[in-house]
Chains A and B, each alone.
Chain A
Amino acid sequence: MIDARGYSCPTPVVMVQKAVKDGGPSKLEVAVDNQCSVENVTRFARNAGYQVKVVDFEGDFKLLLSK
């Protein structure tokens, strides 16, 4: 899991960008702690061909990426 909680913009997206480089894994979990990062990571992941599901994670958010 990528734990991007606490990082300010655009670091969470940069972390996901790194992880999905060269095709990337078919499944990936990303934890973030604010709505803005949820939106940014979701948008980036969709553009990279992933489906995104957002679930609650210890009061924060976990994004389940799959393709």
Chain B
Amino acid sequence: MPKESFIKRYGLLIGTGLVVGAAAVLLTALGNPANMGFCIACFLRDIAGALNFQRAGFDAEVGTGIVQYIRPEIIGLVLGSTAIAFAKKEFRPKGGSSPMIRFIVAVFVMIGALVFLGCPLRMVIRIGGGDLNAVVGLVGFALGILLGIRFLKKGFSLRRAYQQSMAEGLIFPVLMVGLLVLLMVRPDFIIFSAKGPGSMAAPVLVALLVAVIVGILAQRSRLCMVGGIRDAVMFKDFRLISAFVAIIVAVLIGNLALSKFNLGFVDQPIAHSEATWNLMGMVLVGWGSVLLGGCPLRQLILAGEGNTDSAVTVTGYIVGAAVSHNFGLASSATGIGTGPVAIAVVVGFVVLAVISLMNMQKLEG
């Protein structure tokens, strides 16, 4: 058997990582919030806001909250995945692998992400911007993944998924088309922040196009932030983590070129310096994401391929975002939320522990 060449083994993933990193820098330069070219957690939270599921930082003067916007990046990622999945005959509706467990885990993954202020992808983008708080987050993320791996090795599984109808698989992509229509038409009942991060956005069509390209690449390369560390530890497979590193490199170069690189802990954009909570939030994200089988970006891509378990997971993220903001669990640039953050995080750990322990299977095929 000839050995797989370096290009064949790593080319697509490193290429995808570089494109994602460059796209993130570009989208920020065109108007997205700083170090937030892409953030699946933040953008789903903004969509939750646009649908009025939360209105964090509501300002009576302007009549909106600060994180309400239908982010075209989410729509583009999903539809890019759907398009290429159809083209490659990989669109296969399936689901039924413990959907309610996935939903609950997703809620806590989102709570953890909003304590830290970012999904694993934004964590990597923040690192590329010089935000050392995100390095603390990375430590927590890796610890969470190691915890999850312990259970995977002992046979943790959310059981089988089964084939479903085309209609079932298409619901999520069609919902994305619906969101796109709402974004274009901007009816009164959809809220767009007049100030704050929700008001900062790259032009719709550019963001959509960039996201479609990233969605296609992510579907082909199976890019996953959680998978990177997981596969490196479990299987000594460094393919996915090579993309992880490529994103950091591309963002770093982009930020240096645009003089946006700012190394340090303080005054980092849309970030806080409470190390304990940056760490704990990402432990929750890492552990929960291993149980779910992928990071939030990967869940979007899978949902685009007709995986309804991932669609349920994304729904869980949106509900988790609403819970986070409605109960003061989400952090802000001034620090952690004013609500019962510690209780929520501890409850999250207990829930993940119970779910991990209760889903050990004998995997004998």
Which residues from chain A sit less than 8 Å from chain B, CB to CB? 1-11, 13-15, 17-19, 33-36, 39, 43-44, 46-47, 51
**CA of A5 to CA of B163, assembled, Å:** 10
Residue contact B161 to A35, C-beta cutoff 8 Å: no
A24 to B166, CA, bound (A): 39
Segment at the interface with A among B35-43, B186-194, B229-237, B333-341? B229-237
B158 interface residue (CB < 8 Å to A): yes
Number of residues from B at the complex interface, CB < 8 A: 32
A4 touches B90 (CB 8 A): no
Of A17, A36, A51, the contact of B235 (CB 8 Å cutoff)? A17
User: Is there contact, CB below 8 Å, between A8 and B161?
Assistant: yes
Which residue numbers of B lie inside 8 Å of A, CB to CB? 1, 4, 88, 90, 92, 94, 97, 152-153, 155, 157-163, 222, 224, 227, 230-231, 234-237, 239, 293-294, 309, 363, 365
**Of residues B94, B155, B230, B363, which shows the largest number of chain A Cβ atoms within 10 Å of its Cβ?**
B363
Find out whether the CB atom of A43 lies under 8 angstroms from the CB atom of B237. yes
Is B234 a contact partner of A10 (Cβ separation < 8 A)?
yes
Q: List chain B residues, Cβ under 8 A from A10.
A: 152, 227, 230-231, 234-235, 293
Q: Is the interface of B mostly helix, strand, loop or mixed?
A: loop
Contact present for B365 and A2 (CB under 8 Å): yes
Is the beta-carbon distance between A44 and B158 smaller than 8 angstroms?
no
A2-B365, A8-B293 in contact; A33/B237 too (CB < 8 A)? no
Contact of B365 among A3, A8, A39 (CB under 8 A): A3
Task: Select which of A3, A8, A36 is within 8 A of B222 by beta carbon.
Answer: A36
Contact between B293 and A34, CB atoms less than 8 A apart: no
Nearest opposing residue in chain B for A1, CB measure: B365
Chain B, residue nearest A15 (CB): B363
- Whether A11 contacts B90 by the Cβ 8 Å rule is no
A14 touching B152 by the CB < 8 A rule? yes
